[in-house]
Structure 1
Amino acid sequence: MATVLLTPSNKPLLQSNEEHILTLLDRCSTMKELKQIHGLVWKKGSVALLTHHIAVSKLLSLWASAKFGNLEYARMVFDRIRTPNTLMWDTMIRAYSNGNDPEAALLLYHQMLHHSVPHSSYTFPFLLKACSCLSASEEAQQIHAQIIKRGFGSEIYATNSLIRAYAILGNTKSAHDLFDRLPQRDIVSWNTMIDGYIKCGNVDMAYEMFKAMPVKSVISWTTMIVGFVRVGMNTEALSHFQQMLIAGIKPDSIAISCSLSACAGLGALEQGRWVHAYIHKNRIKIDSVLGCVLIDMYVKCGEMPKALEVFSELEQKSVYEWTAIIGGFAIHGKGREALDWFMEMQKTGTKPTMITFTAVLTACSHAGLIEEGKLIFESMGTVYEINPSVEHYGCMVDLLGRAGLLKEAKELIEAMPVKPNAAVWGALLNACVMHKNLDLGKQIGKILIKLDPDHGGRYIHLASIHAAAGEWNQAAQVRRQIKHIGLLNPPGCSTITLNGVVHEFLAEAGSLQHIEEVYDIWNQIISRPIEKRYGPVTEDLLLNL
């Protein structure tokens, strides 16, 4: 039976020359058409088409692409080609590297070496991507050797890919050595190094690289903003965003989203509103990610009505926007409202995620909705087929603990299918302190120190419990452990926004501008007579040993 591909005018196309095959492949839009073209190649190909490298490579690329997604079929076609050329090998390696089986890319490359196939500059980047996905440092070094051996050591595309692979694998020293030896660095080389240092947590070195760049792109600025936000340097992120605008660089959606996250972290409502106004002024489409970040910013800055306004203006509402709103009500202690919105979300047919359940259970915990929380926790498995995670168990322990159901909370921890972490035990410890169950609190405190020995707060909690029980010697002994181990207690920090400038206050830091005026005002406040009902609660204060 003849294989026929119909054109829009329904006229059969049965021409066997290579140019028409390529034209058909370029116009192909459905799986059915691709199969018809493949059949045409097979039928009319005799030897000519089946050995036509460009046409067959294009056919392989389409089969292996995300659009058609039949990598197994592409491999079957590839295996039947008598002498596949470099382009065909590169096509298959790229497909495996971009897919769910990056290891197959390395195995295929081993066959490529066995057959002594010539390499191209496009052979290595996807092999290195596969190494990055597999955390295969040794294989990356072997491919580095192949790059040098085959004369691609000065080829910028292959070298940039090698720098990126080393950086992703955590070997920033090798990446920087390669960068320093580059005879000519392009903007990709610089951005790759900056991104590599940020992924390894070395934001200071990333910033030094950024400042040394001769030309900075929007990606360079965005990468630094992302890096600052990732390590909690929100003030620096906002400052960098402002410098980006002053430099005349139009920010992309990632830079805007991260800047809004920085505003949320600082509680900088004024700057958050300005960024929101910038979005409207420049007619930037508010997608799912930007919508979530905007809602989160307003929620954390205490502007719940504005968060609801952003939510209502979204054309399409995914589970992420619903979760952000539910989480907002949870943060503000409005458990009933959070449950109402959870029900509304379900009515729209939106399926909750694990994060959604964390938000709902947190809302129940803060509002003391015990029975509702238990029902929702149980529904995760029975209704939604979601196995509760450690975070969900932590929410339930917090819910039960706040209600004084300490025994039930402890039993829940002991029945967990996974090992409870320090956060779960910490929730129970807080409940013990709240409800003055000092004996159980001491047991939990010792468990926490064993689980998290490098966390100074664990020792302070246990010392507080001993002090509350009048066991001063034990409290002093625990506090001495902190000094003996050399743990640091990070100073308290708060921020305010005044006239568009974020001011940060660190405990015991006296270098702040106008600090004397701040102290004067504070002394005036504490010197005023305080009514008895507004007096400070001192019974739970940590003994200062």
Structure 2
Amino acid sequence: MSQLKQIQAHVFCIGLQQDRDTLNKLMAFSMDSSLGDFNYANRIFNHIHDPSLFIYNLMIKAFVKRGSFCSAISLFHQLREHGLWPDNYTYPYVLKGIGCTGEVRKGEKIHAFVVKTGLEFDPYVCNSLMDMYAELGLVEGFCQVFEEMPERDSVSWNIMISGYVKCRRFQEAVDVYRRMRMESNKKPNEATVVSTLSACSVLRNVELGKEIHSYIVNELDFTYIYIYIYIYISLDR
């Protein structure tokens, strides 16, 4: 880290603080989990007169990972004020921050801006929108995003199932699992079966529990059989 500070001092000394490529590399290195220092990186950021979108994305991500959600959201508005357009790396962390703060109106505004920037069908952004709505407890929100997606990956299906479970809509969670099995070529993974078994436990759906048990044994890591055993005991009580 001391070497990094020496490099940074040299960069500012010789007037390279407006060289975007140099600043991008310096900031990325400052954020490195093994070598970096967020507070130091933040000080560098505050000395940059015209940060690039790449640098904004790094800072927003760092704030969210530190739990400073309001700071991340504030940076999003700042980059817009500076005339920058968010990309599919910006939105996921901003949306996560909004989901954690519970600010529904801000979430809806960001969703509208996603549409304005033409990223409403980007899979990464769509999954982040769904996750935000699930965290906010807005079933209609994550359902609408899911249904409008031109292509869904395993993460999309998992968020739908876990979202219903978070909102205590357990039958709908089970229905989505069955729909995934029937309509999609995506195979359930560990996250899928954990959420679905949670719904089965509440519904006392032993039949589906056994079906998932068979799937775990045949398709997934055998250690996940212990999840089934726990749920099965719960169902039999």
Give TM-score scaled by structure 1 length.
0.39
In structure 2, the CA distance between the partners of 1:195 and 1:59, relative to structure 1 (3 Å rule), is: farther
- Contact in 1 for aligned 2:88/2:122 (Cα 8 Å): yes
The corresponding residue for 1:165 is: 132
Distance in 2 (alpha carbons) for counterparts of 1:240 and 1:153: 35
1:262 is aligned to 2:234: no
Partner of residue 242, structure 1: 213
Identity among equivalent pairs (%): 25
SS, match of residue 152 in structure 2: coil
Cα offset, 1:237, TM superposition: 7.2
Which residue number in structure 1 is paired with residue 109 of structure 2?
142
Q: Which residue of 2 aligns with 1:222?
A: 194
Q: Is the 8 A contact 2:120 2:126 kept in 1?
A: yes
Match of 1:93 among 41, 60, 66: 60
**SS across alignment from 2:98:** helix
Aligned partner letter, 1:159: C
Cα drift, residue 238 of structure 1:
4.5
Distance in structure 1 (CA, Å) of the matches to 2:205 and 2:28: 43
Q: Who is 1:202 aligned against?
A: 169
Larger helix fraction of residues? 2
The answer to whether the Cα contact below 8 Å between 2:213 and 2:228 also exists between their aligned partners in 1 is no
Give the C-alpha shift of residue 192 in structure 1: 1.3
Taking structure 1 as reference, are residues 130 and 263 closer, same or farther at Cα in structure 2, changes over 3 Å only? Answer: same
Aligned to 1:190: 157
CA RMSD of aligned residues (A): 2.6
The answer to which structure, 1 or 2, has the higher relative contact order (CA under 8 A, 6+ apart) is: 2
Q: CA deviation at 1:263?
A: 4.9
- Check whether the contact 1:61–1:92 (CA below 8 A) recurs between aligned residues: no
Does structure 1 residue 179 correspond to structure 2 residue 146? yes
Distance between the aligned counterparts of 2:81 and 2:217, measured in 1?
55
Contact kept in structure 2, 1:234 and 1:262, CA below 8 Å: no
Residues 72-83 of structure 1 correspond to what in structure 2 (within 5 A)?
Answer: 72-83=39-50
Cα 1:165–1:234 shift into 2, 3 Å: same
Within-5 A mapping of 1:126-137: 126-137=93-104
Distance in 1, matches of 2:73 and 2:192, equals: 31
Which of 88, 102, 110 aligns to 1:121? It is: 88
Aligned partners of 2:43, 2:114: CA distance in 1, in Å? 29
Give the secondary-structure state (helix, strand or coil) at the position aligned to 2:61.
helix
Q: How does 1:514-533 map to 2 (within 5 A)?
A: none
- How many residues of Structure 1 are paired with residues of Structure 2 in the alignment? 231
The Cα offsets for residues 360-407 of structure 1, whole Å up to 9 and x where unpaired, read as xxxxxxxxxxxxxxxxxxxxxxxxxxxxxxxxxxxxxxxxxxxxxxxx
Question: What is the deviation of 1:111?
Answer: 1.2
Change in CA separation of 1:241 and 1:182 when aligned onto 2, cut-off 3 Å: closer
Shift of 1:134: 0.8
Provide structure 2 residue ranges, at least 5 long, that are not aligned to the other structure.
none
Offset of residue 105 of structure 1: 0.5
Q: Is the 8 A contact 1:234 1:263 kept in 2?
A: no
Corresponding residue number in structure 1 for 2:121: 154
SS of 1:180's equivalent in the other structure is: helix
Choose 37-46 or 124-133, whichever is displaced more.
37-46
**Distance of aligned partners of 1:106 and 1:236 in 2 relative to their CA distance in 1, 3 Å threshold:** farther
Rounded to whole Å, the distance in 1 between the matches of 2:29 and 2:230 is 39
The match for 2:38 is 71
2:24, 2:203 → 1: CA distance? 47
Residues 221 and 244 in structure 1, CA contact (< 8 A), matched pair in contact too: no
CA contact (8 A) 1:131 1:165 kept: yes
Give the equivalent residue in structure 2 for 1:43. Answer: 10
| 2:53/2:84 contact within 8 Å kept | yes
Aligned residue for 2:42, secondary structure, equals helix
Counterpart in the other structure of 1:479: none
Offset of 1:191 from its aligned partner? 1.5
Q: 1:156 to 1:111 in 2, by over 3 A?
A: same
Give matches, 1:320-399, under 5 Å. none
Distance 2:208 2:227 in 1: 8
Computing the radius of gyration from Cα coordinates, the structure with the larger value is 1
CA distance in 1, matches of 2:4, 2:165: 47
What CA distance in whole angstroms lies between the structure 2 residues aligned with 1:170 and 1:149? 24
